[in-house]
Structure 1
Amino acid sequence: MSLDLFSNFGRSLDLYFHTFEFNASFYYLLRAAGYWLVGYNLIATIGTGLALTAGLLLLLLAWREHQPTVASLGQTLLLALTLYYLLATTVHPWYLTPLIAFACFTPYRYSIVWSGMVWLSYAAYQTPVYSENLLLVSLEYGLVIGVLVWEVVLLKPMGWVTDAHHIRTN
């Protein structure tokens, strides 16, 4: 492994977290707050903060799931990628492919809804000048987060969605 490899990899990460913006959720809210507070895009600060937050949450998830089982692995991977994508500055439609695969091994279906809604992000390319329609992005993430909360908070306590750690057999 050469020093150039690490240098180039670092530059790619820098571009990803500090330059690219597409179909983001929480990042767009924080970006709007930054424009309102200081008058310019704080992507350098916000991108780093969200990447570190995602990293810490993923470490916490890994620590919590220190002995994963076959039954819990799909759910853990689904949650990990969901957390990462919700905090990312860039979420292209094809990024969701693993979420759909992991959802097959869990009782959760919000990623299926997300895969249907993510195509709204391509409305940004309907005009010659690239321009994201933040109303469509809000609709996408509002519905996805709504279904996620509905499945995790409302259906699970009613027994309609079972925990992967305790799969019901009746």
Structure 2
Amino acid sequence: MQDIQPTLNVQLKMLDDALEAPSYAHPGDAGADLRTRIDFRIGPGERVLVPTGVAIALPAGYVALIHPRSGLATKHGLTIVNAPGTVDAGYRGEIAVTLLNTDASATLEFKRGDRIAQMVIQRVETAAFERVSELPGSVRGAGGFGSTGGFNAAQ
């Protein structure tokens, strides 16, 4: 596979030099792995705010979205409470991740340096909100949650 060159420079400050910096596991991956700065345990149904030892300075017009790691979610029920977490371009503090253990019985244990989340950096648009008295029509209209179907639950 051909190496993919980075398309954006992001300033990175490691708040803990002993930790590995965010990195992509494979060429072409969208998410860079974030690691825990601390050892921690998270019981069934518990949530914990986990520091990563990473601070960044994104250019204006970009956001870092913090996503769960799919393997941890599938195998252990670990997710991010506010997935995806949002790191705005103006934020300069440590990136921390609010993890939630959705497993009904297993306590999960993590060691410093374990991969806990992934960071996806994307360009964002900012909207100019224009007040109107009526919105234009659409095929969907005002139909809300579940209005398009797609799930046939057995009665």
TM-score band, normalised by shorter chain: under 0.3
Higher relative contact order (CA 8 A, sep 6+): 2
TM-score by length of 1: 0.26
TM-score by length of 2: 0.28
Structure that is richer in strand per residue? 2
Structure that is richer in helix per residue? 1
